[in-house]
Amino acid sequence: MNVLEVRDLRVEFPTHRGVLTALDNVSLSIRPGEILGVVGESGAGKSMTGLAVQGLLEPPGRIASGSVTLNGRRIDTLSDREMTRIRGREIGAIFQDPLTSLNPLFTVGAQLVETIRQHLPMSNSAARSRAVELLAEVGIPAPSERVDHYPHQFSGGMRQRVVIALALAARPGLIIADEPTTALDVSIQAQITALLRRLCVEHGSAVMLVTHDMGVIAETADRVAVMYAGRLIEIGEVAQVTRDPQHPYTQGLMGSIPALGARVPRLQQIDGSMPRLNAIPPGCAFNPRCPQAGPRCRRERPGLITAGAEQAACWLLEGGTA
């Protein structure tokens, strides 16, 4: 059974100028022990998907239709109080900047103990022992000493390890990691992604890895979902999508990554920018920026079309012309 099932999810924001659609019929699933990478430019809907799953949409944002199922239980219809019990216990979260996730006035041990006791029936001493174990598990040196240190006494990479320990504190089945390496140096990024990969396998947790970096996806994820303008436009195994992307947008993302040892006069770029929510064009949302767009692309919106081991929302997959 899949840990997470998102089906035809539609998120809307009512405004005085009309209803803005932030997510438009998004469907995805994650199995136990699997990392699903969700990738796209800023404004693609990646973080919005994670927030909708956690029930953290800011008003007046709302789930207009579709469903979110966690371990066979539908959670998008639960009350705020019920979702509060699920967050942390069944869904762990890792955010971009660890400084915003940690309280500077309390030691990391105190924050870990509070999180553990909030969700698990443990005494204070047992929770503290569990906190030390978690710090050791995420690679914090001398964890029995560092447990009494404050966030400012840790480097950026070590703070992110503490945040990962917090996310794992109650042994959740699903972890949503939203740009967990963006604020870190490249060498530290590699350590954190390797840590996520290892912990995912060891704990059997499902991970939704939200990022704009296809390099991080290629190194960490098992499958990748590419998003554009609130829509899912390609999904498949990482090796397949990175080696042979089917959607022109995914091809552009891959073409913008420099290859080691390759000499090219200029990297590929995607002209234009992500459309605003109140100005999404008819048909395929990518058509104004697509060098292969045809009349049908501007007229009809494509659904996901199977292409080998992956799926892509592109009319080019039906007969090679659009």
The pLDDT of residue 269? 84
- Rounded distance, CA 45 to CA 23, Å? 6
User: Of 171, 194, 219, which one is at a domain's C-terminal end?
Assistant: 171
CB count within 10 Å of CB 58 equals 7
What are 265-320's pLDDT values in tens digits? 777 789 999 999 999 999 999 999 999 999 999 999 999 999 888 999 999 998 75
- Rounded distance, CA 290 to CA 247, Å? 10
Structural domains counted in the chain: 2
User: Of 109, 136, 171, which one is at a domain's C-terminal end?
Assistant: 171
- Rounded distance, CA 307 to CA 50, Å? 27
Residue type, 41: E
Q: Which of 36, 53, 42 is nearest to 228 (CA)?
A: 42
Run means of pLDDT, 10 residues per run, the chain, 322 residues: 96 94 97 96 95 95 97 96 94 87 95 94 96 94 96 92 93 93 80 87 92 88 97 96 94 83 77 93 96 94 91 88 63
Q: Do residue 1 and residue 63 come from a single domain?
A: yes
Q: Do residue 12 and residue 44 come from a single domain?
A: yes
Residue 102 lies in a domain: yes
Bridge partners of 28, per DSSP, are 6
Structure tokens at 7: 């089906």
Q: Do residue 151 and residue 68 come from a single domain?
A: no
Structure tokens at 270: 């995607």
Cα of 26 vs its chain's centroid, Å: 13
The pLDDT of residue 321? 61
Residue 319 lies in a domain: no
The pLDDT of residue 320? 59
- Rounded distance, CA 294 to CA 119, Å? 54
Q: DSSP string covering 226-280, please?
A: EEETTEEEEEEEHHHHHHS--SHHHHHHHHTSPPTT---SS-----S-PPPGGGP
Residue 203 lies in a domain: yes
Residue 294 lies in a domain: no
Q: pTM here?
A: 0.93
Residue 305 lies in a domain: no
* Helices (H), ranges, 39-86: 46-54, 80-86
Range of the domain at 164: 91-171
Burial class from Cβ neighbours inside 10 Å (0-12, 13-18, 19+) for residue 240 reads: middle
Name the pairing type of β-strands 35-39 and 73-74.
Answer: unpaired
45: domain CATH number is: 3.40.50.300
- Rounded distance, CA 157 to CA 261, Å? 29
Q: Taking CA 302 as the corner, what is the angle to CA 298 and CA 308, rounded to the nearest 5 degrees?
A: 135
Query: H-helix or E-strand containing 29?
Result: strand 18-30
